Structure 1
Amino acid sequence: MPVSPAMAEDLAAAIATLYADAELALLEKLRDALMAGIDSPLWAEIKLRSIGDLRTAVEDVTIALQQDADGAVGRALAEAYGRGRQAAVAELGALDIGREMQARAVLPGAPAVDRLAASYAQDTRPLYVRITRAVLDVYRSIVTRASTSTLLGGLTRRQATQHALDRFAQRGVTGFTDSAGRSWELAAYAEMAVRSVTARAAVEGHIDALAELGVGLVIVSDAPLECPLCAPWEGEVLSLGPEQGPRTVRVEKAIQPTGLRAAFRVPETVAVHVTGSLAEARGAGLFHPNCRHSLSAYLPGVTSRPPHHATPGTTYKDTQRQRAIERNIRAWKRRQAAATTDADRRRASVFVRRWQAQARANVAAHPHLRRKPAREQIGTAR
């Protein structure tokens, strides 16, 4: 059974919901803190004096989020790693080399799981610091701008507050920027990080099991709508060892002749073109978050290269259009949650429905696309 990032997709989705719920809770706390006593002439002074209360509320959310997420990630990584190992068992179970594996009672690889959990914690640690700072910075900014707008005779305080909340909700709670300069919503960044690390756990469980059985080569599937990062590796054979770069190796056939004569024959070998190492391919982008490719054992003389799957009428650009539509749906749902009046909520709801209609139309126009409602949510708490 091939292993792919999709094997751990359900585990990542469950954890991403924790962040989406936290994002919604933070947005609602910010809205409620700003709207309390908004008609008071001393509103600005009261808001700036009570910033400590908001800080405490935000920190309570982030501490609970970090504890829940770290525990859930640890469990998800162990499960994903185990699924990867079981995929190897299913893949090789029909052969002699898989029978020993089936009889083993192997605990989820603690070293691999611990290493990946530590990597996830390191990647997301800055996120929790940014959450509190971002919410408080926006709070101060809204109080200042709303007061200025009122003094200058422009927008009412309510209007100015709502406009500022709309801008904040549009881009998400944190506006987190990664090392490549890309801006992320809180839930979207967390989902990317979780999907990446759980997918890696499944792949590592698989290749660790293969390595234990002496399988040193794997092959990448051909997936529809591949991205430019993955295209060079489709249908290619990769090594699990450290050697990089394309080369041709001569290896023994996976299945050798049996019987009395086999004991006196030289093992049969075949020439295999190896495009590079798995580590090299992953470093170049293979198995990125949302990757559709899978990995399976390459058995010389047995495994054949997969045929190329064309996707007429649909391109990778169309899949990215779907992702953009999902981001807009989430943005307008956040604005709906941040609305301070029924009129603002109704307006946001109209735009949610418009973008949902675009999502349906895009999927209808491209049969190879699938709509994923979970990616259009900002949380389950209401």
Structure 2
Amino acid sequence: MATQPSQPADDSAELALIVELLAAGVVQEFATAEQDLIAEVASLARQGLAAPVGSAARLDMLRRMQIAAHRVAAELRSRATPLARRVTDEAARYGMAAAQRRLAMLAASHPSLLRTLTAPQPEPVSAHGLASTVAIRLDLQRNLEDAAVRIARFGDDAYRAAIARAAEAEVLHGVTPAAAQRGAWDELMSQGITGFTDSRGRRWNLASYVEMATRSAVQRSFNASHRARMTAAGIEYFTVAPHAHPCPICLPWEGAVLSDRFGSGLTSALSTVSDERVQFEVAATVDQAIAAGLFHPNCTHTLVAYLPGATRMQQRSEWTQADREAYRAAQRLRELERRVRAAKQREVAALDDVSRARARRDVRAGQAAIRAHVAAHRLVRRPRREQRDLGNG
């Protein structure tokens, strides 16, 4: 009996869950270390600044801040390799398992259309898939080590905020010593440990950078093993299933057919392929789509097997004004969450009651703005993202 064409089903919901679960552990390690270090240097600053100028306690403040920062950095650097290995290996296993399940479903519904389908049991990772996983692991390991190295400089940053920058503001802008000190310190504490720049030139603080890098590595490892297993089973073409909330980078690839055949001669933006069952258009190779932005950090799209003549494709969507507004509203929510986290950080690290009270008011104002924004745009509020450690503590 002939099989009926079916719409592509994907594993994006599972990938989103895997990304959340695996990234949470890594973010917790770094975010907790950052919060503990901030609390420690704040305590050292209060002690040092309460001592007379020129006293041993004040002169020793920089050394003690540096020791604290270097200790935390060394601890995290030692954890970078096992953390990177664990999350990328687990993501690869999840991707392989998801592909196995999807292949079993395809074999049951379209048994005559797949040339080589193995039984749905665990398969060894192919050489290409293994190389991809190792490369992704090493990339994440370097990112985590870089983050740890940057932490080592936080002791110097904290001392300058408490002493040098405050003195500079007093001289250059004529503010009182107390106000200059409070402004410099609050600015540093609200930002946390910063100095991280991604390949697109965007600046991040520590927790957000580690979260972005880890989520990206988990997603890439899942998709690499998922794709390798599909390819080993004879899948030559893929598509990207529609997503509930696509971004402008990924939307053009939803519903497009992508080729996995390396060196197939697909050099133009659009090529027509004649299969024994049907003629269809291939938009690009998978690697070309990735180079153009598909599977960017925090993306949860996955590749879906495209079977010529058996996969019924949905009509491709255009980026509408409604999509643009929804995307901007989601980005605005992320900004408001960052403001609340920054205010909570200032509250914990405040040097005096005045700064602490001001930060507490900013927390309440930020939370009120989030409630109003969520209600106005029918978004889902995730209170954990308003926590100082992104809710991973």
**Pair 1:26-2:37 in alignment:** yes
> 2:163 is aligned with what amino acid?
V
Alignment pair present for 1:372 and 2:392: no
Instruction: Deviation per CA, 1:87-137: give whole Å up to 9, x if none.
Output: 111212131558624134536965433221111123343332222224413
Letter in 2 for 1:247: S
Query: 1:378 corresponds to which letter in structure 2?
Result: R
Q: 1:150 to 1:273 in 2, by over 3 A?
A: closer
Q: Which residue of 1 aligns with 2:272?
A: 248
SS at match of 1:315: helix
CA distance, structure 2, for counterparts of residue 75 and residue 209 of structure 1 = 20
Superposition pairs for residues 1-382 of structure 1, below 5 Å?
2-4=10-12, 5-6=15-16, 7-42=18-53, 46-94=57-105, 95=107, 96=111, 100-106=118-124, 110-146=130-166, 155-157=176-178, 159-242=179-262, 243-244=266-267, 245-251=269-275, 268-307=276-315, 312=322, 314-367=325-378, 369-379=379-389
Query: Does the 8 Å CA contact 2:39/2:348 hold for their aligned counterparts?
Result: yes
Secondary structure class of the residue paired with 1:286: coil
Q: Is the 8 A contact 1:236 1:274 kept in 2?
A: yes
Q: What secondary structure sits across from 1:249 in the alignment? A: strand
| Contact 2:39 2:349 survives alignment (8 Å) | yes
1:210 Cα deviation from its structure 2 partner:
0.4
Question: Offset of 1:283 from its aligned partner?
Answer: 1.2
1:263 corresponding residue in structure 2: none
Return the offset for 1:168.
0.4
Match of 1:262 in 2: none
Output the CA distance in 2 between the equivalents of 1:60 and 1:295.
Answer: 43
CA contact (8 A) 2:73 2:151 kept: yes
SS of residue paired to 2:51: coil
Cα 1:25/1:101, change in 2 over 3 Å: farther
Change (3 A) 1:100 1:149: closer
Distance across 1 between alignment mates of 2:376 and 2:175:
46
Change in 2 beyond 3 A, CA 1:354/1:151: closer
Aligned residues of 2:77 and 2:149 also touching (Cα < 8 A): no
Quote how far apart the aligned CAs of 1:43 are. Answer: 5.1
Change (3 A) 1:344 1:49: closer
Task: Label 1:161 to 1:360 Cα distance change in 2 as closer, same or farther (>3 A).
Answer: same
- CA 1:207/1:381 → structure 2, altered by over 3 Å: closer, same or farther? closer
RMSD between aligned residues? 2.9
Deviation, 1:335, is: 0.8
Q: How many residues align?
A: 364
- With normalisation by structure 1, the TM-score equals 0.85
Equivalent residues of 2:26, 2:83 under 8 A apart: yes
CA-CA distance at 1:167 after TM superposition: 0.4
**Given residue 280 of structure 2, which amino acid in structure 1 is its aligned partner?**
V
List runs of 5+ in structure 1 lacking aligned partners: 252-267
Q: Secondary structure at the match of 1:248?
A: strand
**Identity rate, percent:** 34
**Deviation sequence 1:341-362 (CA, Å, 0-9, x none):** 3443232122112212222222
CA separation of 1:125/1:69 partners in 2, compared to 1, >3 Å: closer, same or farther?
A: closer
8 Å Cα contact 1:85-1:209 kept in structure 2: yes
Sort the Cα spacing of 1:284 and 1:19 in 2 relative to 1 into closer, same or farther, 3 A: same
Distance 1:27 1:187, change over 3 A: same
Contact 1:44 / 1:147 at 8 angstroms: preserved in 2?
Answer: no
Paired residue type of 2:271 = R
Give the C-alpha shift of residue 197 in structure 1.
0.7
Alpha-carbon distance in 1 for matches of 2:230, 2:182: 57
Q: What's the secondary structure of 1:32's corresponding residue?
A: helix
Q: Deviations over 1:166-223 (max 9, x none)?
A: 1002222123234543221111111111111110001011101001101011111222
Take 2:190 and 2:371, find their aligned partners in 1: how far apart are those partners? 22
